[in-house]
Amino acid sequence: MPIKVQSNLPAIKVLESENIFVMPDDIALKQDIRPLKILILNLMPTKITTETQILRLLGNSPLQVDIELLQMASHVSKNTSSNHLNTFYKTFDEIKSNTFDGLIITGAPVELLDFEEVDYWDELCRIMEWSKKNVYSTFHICWGAQAGLYYHYGIKKHALPEKLSGIYTHNVLDPHHQLMRGFDDTFQIPHSRYTGVKLEEVRKAPLLDVLAVSEKAGVSIICSKSGRQVFVTGHAEYDRDTLANEYLRDLNRGIEPQVPYNYFPNDDPLRVPPMVWRSNATLLYTNWLNYFVYQATPYDLNELENYAQ
């Protein structure tokens, strides 16, 4: 899928080196089609890395995607330059009058805080409420999934005995669901979190379908019956070395983390982790774009308010 972004976004060089089709603004304007409008609310501290990871997964379909990056006005990012944010990101006030085919809400390293203690929680709630009438389908990642489940369905997150970090095997519960089409019976994706949601509590929500679970990592993929909300409790978008970088970061902080599960060969941090989840991640995002964004979104996005959640 040609990804339409600003021509000087740092992610472009990385993606082009991987033969992922990135389309600058000037070329995209010459195509007589309506691109899919995707808004990415990036809550991760390493914003440039996360931009690249998500754009990579959106770039595997024949349609044009118009990307808009969103930041929180109520939070000051300490790990990304203000120049990058001012150049490539918008705030909610700048986009709230617009409509979008899809919205991606990333994870955030604030899991140990109660939702209401997060400094941008009120702003995030406004965005999630706004999305009901201004976005057709929203894809929530990790803490973003926990936040969405809590806000929309009242499902609480629970602290885990220790950090869940590693590559976990998941079982597909509904292979005929559109989001899971093409998946093998089992698949692997990374997780990196201190909290989780309980399967039995998710199943009490009548408007939600549980699509994949892991014996060790718990409930993993959830979709609303309308297809307008998707929740993924792991990080399918992670790079090969993301968990390694997190592990080394925690070591340097004196946290004494466990070696990520099923990640380093023989649990040896000096060895290169095998990349065993890229195809699963690509399929997950492609299915979401195809079945719940491209095929389901009305051509005229002004009609979104007529579609039930």
The partner residues of 4 in beta bridges, in order of sequence, read 23, 66
228-260 CB burial, b ≥16 within 10 A, e <16: bbbbbbbbbbbbeebbbebbeeeeeeeeeeeeb
Catalytic residues: 142, 235, 237
| Torsion angle, alpha carbons of 196, 200, 204, 210, to 10 | 70
DSSP string, 148-211: HHHHHH-PPPEEEEEEEEEEEEEEES-TTSGGGTT--SEEEEEEEEEEE--HHHHHT-TTEEEE
Residue 62 has what DSSP assignment? S
Residue 141 has what DSSP assignment? E
The partner residues of 239 in beta bridges, in order of sequence, read none
CA distance 64 to 269: 39
The position carrying tokens 């080394």 is: 248
- Longest Cα separation, the chain: 55
Give the residue among 273, 257, 256 at the shortest CA–CA distance from 265.
273
